Structure 1
Amino acid sequence: MNFELDDNYGLLKNTVRDFAENEIRPAAKQLDENEEFSLEITKKMGEMGFLGVTVSPDYGGQGLDYLSYIIIVEELARVDASQAATVAAHNSLGTGPIYRYGSKEQKEKYLPDLTAGKALWAFGLTEPNAGSDSNGTNTSAVRTEQGWILNGQKTFITNGDTPLTIGATIKALTGIKDKGHKEFSCFLLETGTPGFTTSTLKGKMMWRASNTAELFMSDCFVPEENLLGKIGEGSKIMLSTLDSGRLAIAAMGLGCAQGAFELALKYSKTRKQFGRFIGDFEVNSFKLADMAMKIELARTFLYKACWLKDNNKPFTTEAAMAKLYCSEIAREVADEALQIHGGYGLMKEYEIERFYRDQRLLQIGEGTSEIQRIVIARQLGLNPIF
């Protein structure tokens, strides 16, 4: 086994790190404070190629492997989870379903602008009464002679209401099959469609500089050519999208842990108590040693999961494990990193306060930690009761 990444990955990591340090870190505190989505930074990330990482150059993308994409998300999250969330949601949830399931015409219509950073696309799955239970989707699509009529509501949708957002993939109920089983399908709903409105959610604890929105559909007409995939493939499309998306959330957890660890390490070498640097005390040095160990284990496993995906091997179990483990490690590391900062860690003046808040969503978004354990258990041949 070869655990050494080639020079191309190293160059990519350094390029993204330089961008994050120079373009994002100086603005992160103020954007978080103002709950402000940065159009400027998003466009710059598009120019850097961060918004079409795995899409073929035929449609304007970079054509890189999934590990490259994960490294990009990791390095952005090391500095600011909000900007990492914009990139992760756009790649995994926005362009991903269109690229994998879209028709040639759909790809040619949407992907060039989406990969260039000229536009963003959202992923409409979660509803007020359908979170972990995706089969609880109430949004409906009724067929007509010309197309489909959509009615319903989506919530907690990243990138759903920005100046760059040109649409969203909507999962909707399209019928009831034999034995009462629900049939779901996916539709490409464009911004500006009559009856389609969006609203930004404010007052978030975390990812305050990323856009989170509610989507409302009232008799929205969607033409037949905007059906994504085939009728009845909605759950398949959504679940496969979440498998890939979990790796991106894992990368956000890994990057968050790395960033929090570095802040704590730096602080421990400058802050003195009892006449010594606090990092020299065994209680703190052991905390930092444990952090470094956990981060390295998380990175090794996440990269393995990416290798499985890149080599077209089954990775559902590993994606769930990586998402679960990396998000839990982000929580543990951020908590200990704040503890090392002491009272100052509770002040907004210090970056660790933002990292501590931002990590909390990782155990909820794109499948809670509890759901990940259910996925893993089922892959083991068990049938957990819940």
Structure 2
Amino acid sequence: MLLVNAKIVDVLNGEISKFDAIRTNDQGEIVDVGASTTLNRNLAKNQEPTIDLDGRYLFPGLISCHTHLSVVFPFSLTDPNEDPAITAFRAAERAHDALHAGITTIRCVHEQNQVDLALRRAAVAGWFNGPRIFGAGRALSTPEGHGKGSACSYAKDFDGFYQAAINELEAGADHLKIFITGGLARAGESPEDPEMTDDEIAGAVKAAQEHDTYVVAHAGESTAIQQALRLGVRSFEHGYVMDQQTVDAMAAKDVFYSPTLCVTRSESWMREKGFEESSIQNCLAVSDRHLASVKLAIKAGIKMTNGTDYPPGDLVDGVPAALHELFLMHEAGLSTVKTLQSITSTAASLIRQENKLGQIKTGFYGDVIALRNNPLDDPQNLRNIDLVMQNGQIVESRL
């Protein structure tokens, strides 16, 4: 497949490439990035299918780093004993929506019945078309913690968390998810309440290290974040209430942070989905402190990644949740280039795919989208996607 007459966005350097065409091979990799005239000359010999992008901006496929495909709204309707087939149908529809919105890769951070791992197996077998999935399987939670009632894997003490982690990894998990604080989902819980001991966090981290992977932490406040930093957690989610000392420590440790601003700034969407009033009020109550914490993190230079805590293709204020989050991050003060990197190259580094995803380069996967306007001028230009390609295959075209 040959894409010509494009303006290729170099997200790493924040500029438009001097080249204007790419070629992908039958394995779905980009094998050439060059000038349309040069690649077109070779086309005459090879008779490859060609798409003329007519000056559109070619951008890496989007990567959403805090995804739940199986989540039920409102949360209270979750059935811990749900038939895995029902879970799979719900998750597959969300995955389809995400892919067609240009989200070609997702990192799942808790899925009921390990449906992320099942969908990935189905995709490899050719039975399912969806985003590339990097999955955690089930999150690990204390019995009375934030994961209560959400069909997690429940554990106590070092040995319990170590074994629970091993179980997910042996099932095929790429990383591990833990809850180190409470959250906003239920009446009476608080994101400022720590939920795991040093030993429990250490058990999960040890299992991850033994399998050459890392731990993701749902983290609401500073004390628990500093605890987890000390114990080797690499990726933090939410950060609703953080102080200067904590964001400085996160920057020094070179960890990743998905702020999920949309969690506390999507009231109309929550009401549309039937969220309990207690959940809505919990989110609104912490919204200002959440934004202030994110601004501290931006100034500290923490590596920021895009994550929604919702199915990323669900529409929030008229755009996919992943884009809604992207716009909120930009409005919070993240530079345009870092905002774009949060959903491409920085996200790829988080999932340890920086040599295959997040940029348009030779040797990378053929995951790209085509835009009408330059996203380097304004991330809002990601609203208008005319082409989605994943693994060198056209998924969606409005050309």
TM normalised by structure 2 equals 0.23
Higher-RCO chain (CA-CA 8 Å, sequence separation at least 6): 2
Q: Give the number of the structure whose residues are more often strand, by fraction.
A: 2
